[in-house]
A and B are shown apart, each in its own frame.
Chain A
Amino acid sequence: MRWFSIVLLLILAIVPPVAFITGHAFWMDLFTRLVVLAIAAVALNLILGYGGLVSFGHAAYLGLGAYAVGIPVYHATYGGFDSIASYNGFVHLGIAIAVSAVYALVTGAISLRTRGVNFIMITMAFGQMIFYAIVSLETYGGDDGLTIDVRSEFPGINLDNPLALYGLCYGSLVLVLYLVYRISNSRFGLTLQGARSNEERMRAIGVDCYRYRLTAYVISGVICGYAGFLLGNFTTFISPEMMDWTRSGEIMFMVILGGATYLCGPVIGALVFILLEHLLSEITVYWHLPFGLLLIASVLFLRGGLAGALSNPPWFRKDRSSALASDTSTAASGTATKAPTRADDDV
């Protein structure tokens, strides 16, 4: 898995710039979007995979991050709200991070009081709340969206250059992966995973899981808000549609498709998701149908995601590693290992 991840990151480092230089700007675009969404997926994986918290509202952070670029630029261009009007990238970045952190803290503090389905639905509802709030802001285009006239300005780097923008996004992805790697192996990370594994046990050894979950929730939100900041600079056109709950579903799917709890799982998921989306939509306008069927099939048959299948292929499943998966999937792989025995009996 480790080697596969390194190869994957190398491909992402080399292929898009080469494509761009050789005149295939489209692929560069596709990969930039892919890398940004991969950052969001890695952020979600921190709480979904390691924390066991199924948040269905992460697209809201993408939107908040993107509007943190769009709104200051809008005011810098058309006047008003002098306090935030700016083209300065650091201002945008600061707003993106601050707003995401505050939003995550407030919604997390409330949502994390609940469990299971309630948590899924509540995070979804909060995401939709932000969606409607932005829709109702006529000043910033409401439903129709907002064009970002000027990209964030940083000293020494020009984001109008696609290569520079991709470099920033790619560098951010590597950095975020390293960050999540460190966090997941730290004391904090172990506590978070312990809370996922057995909350009652955590309490019995004297740990209040809530504080750790909330912290992780905020970290995840901030990273995702940062991805939104990049996304805004990439698309230069932002609309509430990018924070619709179906977008949250897509990010979540990347995580699960790639393999939650695997560091690079979400990156694999994002890669497969975006490429598949692109290829299918080339073939037919009704590409959502095969896409939806693939999603359903992957839930039914692909447990542990692609990363899980890669590091532990079904045709070479050792007993010890199958126990890695959660209770339900242990039961499933139990039946899977039983199946051949039954076939033998038939013979």
Chain B
Amino acid sequence: MDSILFIQLLNGLQLGILLFLLSAGLTLTFGIMDFVNLAHGSFYMLGAFFCASLTLATGSFWLGALLALPLTAIAGFVVEKLVIQHLYRRDHLEHVLATFGLILCIDTLTHLYWGPEGIAVPLPAVLNGQIELFEGVVFPTFRLLIIGTGCIVALGLYLLVNHTRVGMLIRAGASNRTMVSALGIDIKALFSAVFALGATLAGVAGMLIAPITEASIGMGNDIIITTFVVIIIGGIGSMKGAFLAALLIGMIDTIGRSFLDDFFKVLMSSEAAETAAPAVSAMLIYILMAIVLAVRPQGLFPPSSR
């Protein structure tokens, strides 16, 4: 196999995994609470900043990431208690507007505490190198860690949702809210827990990306839209859809950015290709979304219960 293609596929996989971590939380909150959270990207950013600060303070990325996890969860929990909780019974438009205000608040608080500059996250030497996967193909160790962590989280999430009591409640709650409360489950606590879980997942994605891009204000606002594209294509509320669509988007976006200009050069003059390719590759996932929606307005894997 062509080694450049292979590496790009791995990069695509890595992006897909990150997108899955983000979209899993979003699709859970939507599936269960029928809540649209624009501020989901803020937890991605918070995760990155917590991790960055703690890594610098403790001198260890491992310790920093480990400590950042509960912090992100607490941030999610607090935000849910303060604001989100009061919005569940409102309509989607109000969700969107209130969480839009929330983004401004969280961004500014981050600015207040950490300052306007981004924070780079130093990696331990073990992770900072490259691994020769097989002859002639080297890949950054840390990116492999991202892929590995993502796969473990995805597996954990799968087990949680499909094989535990909490997961049963989550699935039941997604399809029948009144039923769950009729069973005597504290629906408020369940909602808080799910929201905090979703925030933590987004935070994990932030921690994983921070060493590559550094933690910066507004980093969540760019990726949240891509996350939306993922869950729209996957079918809103569907975990399986989110997983498959995240990988698909990750691959297509990465491959498009790296090979589209070569492909275009076959079709047109190289000058035209160099102008057109970046524009088209930037639009690629949106075009894909448009095509999917034109054929299946509910997305590829809409949850059957809704």
A and B in contact, CB less than 8 Å: yes
Q: What chain B residues lie within 8 Å of A157 (beta carbons)? A: none
A11-19, A123-131, A147-155, A160-168: which lies at the B interface? A123-131
Confirm or deny: B114 has a beta carbon within 8 angstroms of a beta carbon on chain A: no
Of all chain A residues, the one with the shortest Cβ separation from B38 is: A249
What distance in Å separates the Cβ of B298 from its nearest Cβ neighbour in chain A? Answer: 8
Confirm or deny: A79 has a beta carbon within 8 angstroms of a beta carbon on chain B: no
| B108, A288: Cβ atoms closer than 8 Å | yes
Q: Known contacts being A129-B283, A133-B283, is A110 close to B225, with CB within 8 Å?
A: no
A-B contact count (CB 8 A): 131
Q: Known contacts being A110-B294, A299-B98, is A286 close to B232, with CB within 8 Å?
A: no
What distance in Å separates the Cβ of A114 from its nearest Cβ neighbour in chain B? Answer: 5
| A117, B92: Cβ atoms closer than 8 Å | yes
A111 to B228, CA, bound (A): 14
| A288, B105: Cβ atoms closer than 8 Å | yes
Report 27 cross-chain contacts, Cβ distance below 8 Å, ordered by A residue: A54-B93, A113-B293, A114-B297, A120-B93, A121-B228, A124-B225, A126-B286, A132-B283, A136-B278, A136-B279, A138-B278, A245-B225, A249-B96, A249-B100, A252-B97, A286-B111, A288-B104, A288-B105, A288-B107, A289-B109, A293-B105, A295-B101, A296-B101, A296-B105, A299-B90, A300-B98, A326-B91
| A121, B283: Cβ atoms closer than 8 Å | no
Confirm or deny: A135 has a beta carbon within 8 angstroms of a beta carbon on chain B: yes
Q: Which of B104, B221, B286 contacts A292 (CB 8 A)?
A: B104
Q: What chain A residues lie within 8 Å of B183 (beta carbons)? A: none
A116 to B297, CA, bound (A): 12
A114 to B275, CA, bound (A): 33
Confirm or deny: A246 has a beta carbon within 8 angstroms of a beta carbon on chain B: yes
| B290, A289: Cβ atoms closer than 8 Å | no
**A interface residue numbers (CB < 8 A to B):** 54, 56, 107, 110-111, 113-114, 116-118, 120-122, 124-126, 128-129, 132-133, 135-139, 245-246, 249, 252-253, 256, 286, 288-289, 291-296, 299-300, 326, 328
| A136, B282: Cβ atoms closer than 8 Å | yes
Confirm or deny: B266 has a beta carbon within 8 angstroms of a beta carbon on chain A: no
Q: What chain A residues lie within 8 Å of B100 (beta carbons)? A: 246, 249, 253, 295
Q: What chain B residues lie within 8 Å of A291 (beta carbons)? A: 101, 104
A301 to B223, CA, bound (A): 30
What distance in Å separates the Cβ of B91 from its nearest Cβ neighbour in chain A? Answer: 6
Confirm or deny: B188 has a beta carbon within 8 angstroms of a beta carbon on chain A: no
Q: What chain A residues lie within 8 Å of B86 (beta carbons)? A: 300
| A128, B108: Cβ atoms closer than 8 Å | no
Q: What chain B residues lie within 8 Å of A286 (beta carbons)? A: 108, 111-112
Confirm or deny: B265 has a beta carbon within 8 angstroms of a beta carbon on chain A: no
| A299, B225: Cβ atoms closer than 8 Å | no
Confirm or deny: B219 has a beta carbon within 8 angstroms of a beta carbon on chain A: no
Contact with A along B74-106 (1 / 0, CB 8 A): 000000000100110111111011101111110
Please give me the 8 A-B residue pairs with the lowest Cβ-Cβ distance, nearest first: A295-B101, A292-B104, A129-B286, A132-B282, A292-B105, A136-B278, A289-B108, A296-B101
Q: What chain A residues lie within 8 Å of B98 (beta carbons)? A: 295-296, 299-300
Which residues of B (27-57) have their CB < 8 Å from a CB of A?
30, 36, 38
Query: Quick one: which of B94, B96, B105, B109 has the most chain A CB within 10 A?
Result: B96
